[in-house]
Amino acid sequence: MSRLTEDARGVYVIAATPFQEDGTLDFDSTDRMVDTYLEKGAAGLTVLGMMGEATKLTPDEARRFVQHFLTRVDGRIPVVVGVSSPGFAQMQELTKTVMGDGAGGVMIAPPSTLKTDDQIVNYYNQAVEFIGDTPFVLQDFPLVTNIHMSVSVIARIIRSLPSCVCLKHEDWPGLEKISTLREQGVLDRRISILCGNGGLFLPEEMARGADGAMTGFCCPEMMFDVVREMEAGNTERAYDVLNAYLPLMRYEQQPGLGLAVRKYVMAKRGVIASDTLRQPGARLGVTARAEIDQLLRRQGERLAELG
């Protein structure tokens, strides 16, 4: 087992949940997907995230999927499991199960019922009463959760909860927020900041103090390359890479459509066997597929130009 710590950096890929054509879990594709991410250089992996169709699994399926996933990763890199639940009893049980199976930490998003700064801080304090000292990722994703965490709320959570080791930063806009979080004295200890939003602002985020990305994109090599170039100080090269992928990133960022785009490209590349989504959720239409094919062709040409 590899445990998530405050030193997490690099790319944590948020993994999709592969299904066979008939909608059942596809463990062969899961293995291939895990192997691909490991080969390409993932620093960590995240499962049962919001994009991963976690809510479309039965509790038993979710458990079997995570177990299989963890077995394949085999402790080589930390695996973060999304455990956000409507109640703490469920969160506690799921956390216990996945940590026992070898997860490196869990991720918790705030429920949309929270109304004030105090309620947000209080919620995380209550959660930790249930999950104990399990390392956890604080998920800051207001576009989906509708919960806006100010810098002072994040600082209060980090101060009171030593097991909060990482911020999944997905506020939008959020560049100034990263800068502020990295200012001297704002947080009383340094935690890892990994960014979301499909990597759309990854160079700027790294320059402002992020440690990497925790997000998904159908061509994850973009994230590995951008992070590597930024860490090496090659800002111009990092932007060259980002910009080559940007037309497709823009396309995948369409709300509600992103996962279908990601699975279509992953299937086309042979990583997963089928681009099946469980209902509600549908595969792409003919025109959308043609648009993506064109974007992929142009992307390949642009990358070839860059060398």
Nearer to its own copies (CB atom), residue 208 or residue 262: 208
Residue from 28, 126, 132, 162 in contact with its own copies (CB under 8 A): 126
Q: Identify which of 240, 185, 233, 194 has the alpha carbon closest to the alpha carbon of residue 80.
A: 194
Nearer to its own copies (CB atom), residue 20 or residue 119: 119
Is 269 a binding residue for its own copies by CB under 8 A? The answer is: no
Q: Identify which of 195, 252, 197 has the alpha carbon closest to the alpha carbon of residue 219.
A: 252
Residue from 74, 285, 300, 306 in contact with its own copies (CB under 8 A): 285
Q: Binding segment for its own copies among 72-80, 187-195, 265-273, 277-285 (CB under 8 A)?
A: 277-285
Nearer to its own copies (CB atom), residue 77 or residue 265: 265
Report the phi/psi class of residue 144: left, alpha or beta, with left for phi > 0 and alpha for psi in -120 to 50: alpha
Is 208 a binding residue for its own copies by CB under 8 A? The answer is: yes
CA-based R_g, the chain, Å:
19
Residues binding its own copies: number (CB under 8 A): 57
Token representation of residue 293: 């094919």
- Give a three-class secondary structure readout of 119-177: HHHHHHHHHHHHHCCCCEEEEECHHHHCCCCCHHHHHHHHHHCCCEEEEEECCCCCHHH
Nearer to its own copies (CB atom), residue 22 or residue 39: 22
Is 150 a binding residue for its own copies by CB under 8 A? The answer is: yes
Is 247 a binding residue for its own copies by CB under 8 A? The answer is: yes
SS3 content of the chain, % helix, strand, coil (to 5): 50, 10, 35
With beta carbons less than 8 A apart as the criterion, state whether 73 and 112 touch: no
Residue from 124, 136, 141, 201 in contact with its own copies (CB under 8 A): 201
Q: Binding segment for its own copies among 35-43, 70-78, 141-149, 263-271 (CB under 8 A)?
A: 141-149
Residue from 20, 27, 41, 239 in contact with its own copies (CB under 8 A): 239
Nearer to its own copies (CB atom), residue 60 or residue 133: 60
With beta carbons less than 8 A apart as the criterion, state whether 141 and 84 touch: no
Is 293 a binding residue for its own copies by CB under 8 A? The answer is: no
Applying the rule CB under 8 A, the residues between 46 and 75 that interact with its own copies are 53, 55-59, 61
CA 140/CA 105 separation, integer angstroms: 16
Is 35 a binding residue for its own copies by CB under 8 A? The answer is: no
Q: How far is the CB of 145 from its own copies (least distance, A)?
A: 12
Place of tokens 């340094």: 190
CA 183/CA 99 separation, integer angstroms: 33
Give the list of residues 6+ apart from residue 18 with CB closer than 8 angstroms, or none.
Answer: 25, 26, 29, 30, 33, 263, 272, 273, 274
Q: Binding segment for its own copies among 10-18, 39-47, 98-106, 274-282 (CB under 8 A)?
A: 274-282
How large is the greatest C-alpha to C-alpha distance in the chain, in angstroms? 54
Partnered with residue 215 across adjacent β-strands are 13
Positions in the binding site for its own copies (CB under 8 A): 53, 55-59, 61, 85-90, 93, 115-119, 123, 126, 129, 142, 148-150, 152-153, 172-173, 175-176, 179, 200-201, 204, 208, 236, 239, 242-243, 246-247, 250, 254-257, 278-280, 285, 287-288, 291, 298, 302
